[in-house]
Amino acid sequence: MTTGSQWARPSPTGRQRRRDLAVGVLLTAGVAVSTLLSRSAGIDPGSLRPGEGEELAWALAVGLPLCFRRRFPLSVLMTCTVAFIGLQMRYVGDSSASSVCLALALYTVGAWSRDRQRATVVRIVVVVTLSAGLGYVLSANTWPTLNGLTAGHHTGPLPVLPAFALYTIGTNILFLAGAWTFGNAAWVQTRQRTELAERNRELQAERDENARNAVIAERLRIARELHDVVAHHVSVMGVQAGAARLMLTRDPPAAEGALLSIESAGRNAVEEMHRLLGVLRDGRQPAQAAPAAGIEQLATLVAGLRGALRTTYTVDGEPRELPQSLSISLYRITQEALTNTVRHADASKVDVTLSYRATTVELTVVDDGRTAADRTATVPTAHDAQRTRSGRARGGLGHIGMRERVALHDGTLQIGPDDRGYCVRARFRLS
C-alpha cells in the first residue's frame, strides 16, 4: 500500500453505495418538497418562475446524481453544479435544499476523489463558475427586481441591496468553503486511519515473528543445555564405569567409589533434565525445581571427575557476587571443557581456576592431554571458526555453545594448547 500523497482511497463498499442511494433519493425528495412548499407559500411570484413540471425536473437533476456520489465524485459534482446553476437562473423557488445537494457533492470530491490534482482543479472551476452564475443572477434579474420592490423601505443599518448581496454571497461562501475544508479533512483522516491500521498489521506481524524467533532461540538454548548436561554426565559415567570395571577385582573400595560417582552423575543428570524439560513443558521453571547450576557448584562439578582424572579447583582473588546469567555461563563452559577433556583428551589430570581481578573474572580449564598443535588458537567470539586438538575447524555443539555463552556477555574465548597443556580460557569484564 502506498502512503502520503500517493495514497488512493479504496472504492466504496456495497453498504456505502446503498447509503448513497438512500441519501440521494431523500435529498431529491427534499428539493422537490421544498420547491412545492415555496410555490404554495407564494415565494417569488410572477412570470420569472417556471411551471411545476420544470421545477420538479430541476429537483431531480440536482438531487439524483448524489445516488452515485462516492463512485463517481467528479462527474456527480459537475452534474449537480450545472443543475444548480440552471435552477437558479430559472428562478426555481427552492434554494436551501439544492444548496445542501451541491455542498454534499463538493464535500464528496474532497473526501473520495482518487485523483487529487484533478479534484482540486475541478473544484476551483466549480467555485468560479458558481460565483459567475451568482453574479449574473443578482445583476440581471434579482437586483432590478429587489430594487423596484424595496425602494424607500430601508429599515436596517445597511441599504437593502448591499445587505442582500452580502447575505447571499456570505452564505454561498460558507457552504462552499465548509464543504471543501471538511472534504479534505475526511480524506486526510481516512488516510491516517488506513496507514495506522497498516502499521498495526506490520507491528503485529513483527511481534509474531519475534515470538517465533524467541521460541526458536529458546529451543536452541534448551538443546544446548541438554547437550551440556547429557554430554558431561554420560562422559563422566562412561569413564567411571571403565575404571570400576578395571578395579572391580583388584581394588573393590576404589571400584565402589567409582560406582558411587556414576550413581551421583546419573542422579544429577536426571535432575537437570527434569528441570529443563519442565521449562520446555510449562514455559517457566517449576517452583519446586532446584535452581540452575552456577559457580557455587563448580567445586562439586570438578570433584565429580575424581577417580577418572586427578582434578584441582582453585579460586584466585577475592570472590564476589556475579550476575546469575554470568554464573550459569561460567558453570556451563567449565562443564563443556571438562566433557571434552574426558571424551577426547586422553588426559590424566585437569586443573580448573576461577580468577577474580579488579575489573574481570577469568575461567581457565587446563588438562595434560595430547595435542597436535604447538601454538595457541585464539577464537574471537564473533567468529564461527573453532580449532580442535587436531587443528581442524570444528562446528560441534560444544564449542558453539561456549562461543555463544561468551558472546552473550561480550567476553573473549581462547581454546588451544599453551605451555601447561590444552587450555580453555574465558574472560569476562565486570561492571
pLDDT-derived band at 1, boundaries 50, 70, 90: very low
Does residue 391 carry a pLDDT above 50? no
Which carries the bigger pLDDT value, residue 125 or residue 216? 125
Question: What local confidence, expressed as pLDDT, does residue 347 receive?
Answer: 83
Rounded Cα distance, 66 and 104, in Å: 8
Give backbone dihedrals phi and psi of 430, rounded to 5 degrees, phi first.
Answer: -100, 145
The 10s digit of each residue's pLDDT in 190-228 is 999 988 999 999 989 888 888 888 777 767 766 776 766
In this structure, is the dihedral angle defined by the CA atoms of residues 292, 298, 299 and 305, taken in order, positive or negative? positive
Rounded Cα distance, 10 and 19, in Å: 17
As a whole number, mean pLDDT of residues 143-148 equals 53
Which carries the bigger pLDDT value, residue 141 or residue 320? 320
CA 33 to chain CA centroid, Å, is: 54
Within 10 angstroms of residue 291's Cβ, the number of other Cβ atoms is 11
- The DSSP element (H or E) to which 107 belongs, if any, is helix 96-112
Does residue 280 carry a pLDDT above 80? no
Question: What local confidence, expressed as pLDDT, does residue 55 receive?
Answer: 85
With CA atoms as reference, report the closest residue to 130 among 165, 78, 196: 78
Residue 68 · residue 54 · CB < 8 Å: no
Rounded Cα distance, 70 and 308, in Å: 86
CA 27 to chain CA centroid, Å, is: 45
Does residue 158 carry a pLDDT above 70? no
Give backbone dihedrals phi and psi of 342, rounded to 5 degrees, phi first.
Answer: -65, -40
Taking every pair of Cα atoms in the chain, the longest distance, rounded to a whole number of angstroms, is 142
Does residue 376 carry a pLDDT above 90? no
As a whole number, mean pLDDT of residues 409-421 equals 87
Helices (H), 157-248: 160-247
Tally of helices (H runs) and strands (E runs) in the chain: 11, 6
- b/e string for 149-183 if b means 16 or more Cβ within 10 A? eeeeeeeeeeebbeebbeeeeeebeebbeebbeeb
With CA atoms as reference, report the closest residue to 338 among 377, 369, 316: 369
Share of the chain above pLDDT 70, in %: 74
Question: What local confidence, expressed as pLDDT, does residue 68 receive?
Answer: 94
As a whole number, mean pLDDT of residues 419-425 equals 87
Residue that is written with C-alpha cell 588458537 in the block: 377
With CA atoms as reference, report the closest residue to 392 among 409, 377, 408, 414: 377
Share of the chain above pLDDT 90, in %: 28
Which carries the bigger pLDDT value, residue 356 or residue 250? 356
- The DSSP element (H or E) to which 399 belongs, if any, is helix 397-408
- With H, G, I as helix, E, B as strand and everything else as coil, classify residue 11: coil
Which carries the bigger pLDDT value, residue 384 or residue 161? 161
Question: What local confidence, expressed as pLDDT, does residue 346 receive?
Answer: 79
Residue 101 · residue 63 · CB < 8 Å: yes
Question: What local confidence, expressed as pLDDT, does residue 226 receive?
Answer: 72
Does residue 429 carry a pLDDT above 60? yes
As a whole number, mean pLDDT of residues 301-328 equals 86
Residue 99 · residue 77 · CB < 8 Å: no
Gyration radius of the chain's alpha carbons: 45
Does residue 46 carry a pLDDT above 60? no
Question: What local confidence, expressed as pLDDT, does residue 253 receive?
Answer: 79
Which carries the bigger pLDDT value, residue 373 or residue 28? 28
In this structure, is the dihedral angle defined by the CA atoms of residues 260, 266, 272 and 274, taken in order, positive or negative? negative
CA atoms within 13 A on the CB side of 255: 10
Rounded Cα distance, 338 and 365, in Å: 8
- Please give the C-alpha separations between residue 279 and each of 273, 285, 287, 329, in angstroms, as whole numbers: 10, 5, 11, 18
Rounded Cα distance, 387 and 88, in Å: 93
Q: Which residues contact 347 (CB under 8 A, 6 or more apart)?
A: 309, 341, 367, 368, 369, 421, 422
Q: Do strands 378-379 and 412-418 pair parallel, antiparallel, or not at all (unpaired)?
A: antiparallel
Residue that is written with C-alpha cell 496507514 in the block: 195
Rounded Cα distance, 188 and 204, in Å: 24
Rounded Cα distance, 242 and 24, in Å: 95
Question: What local confidence, expressed as pLDDT, does residue 360 receive?
Answer: 93
With CA atoms as reference, report the closest residue to 334 among 317, 351, 356, 322: 351
Within 10 angstroms of residue 248's Cβ, the number of other Cβ atoms is 14
pLDDT-derived band at 144, boundaries 50, 70, 90: low
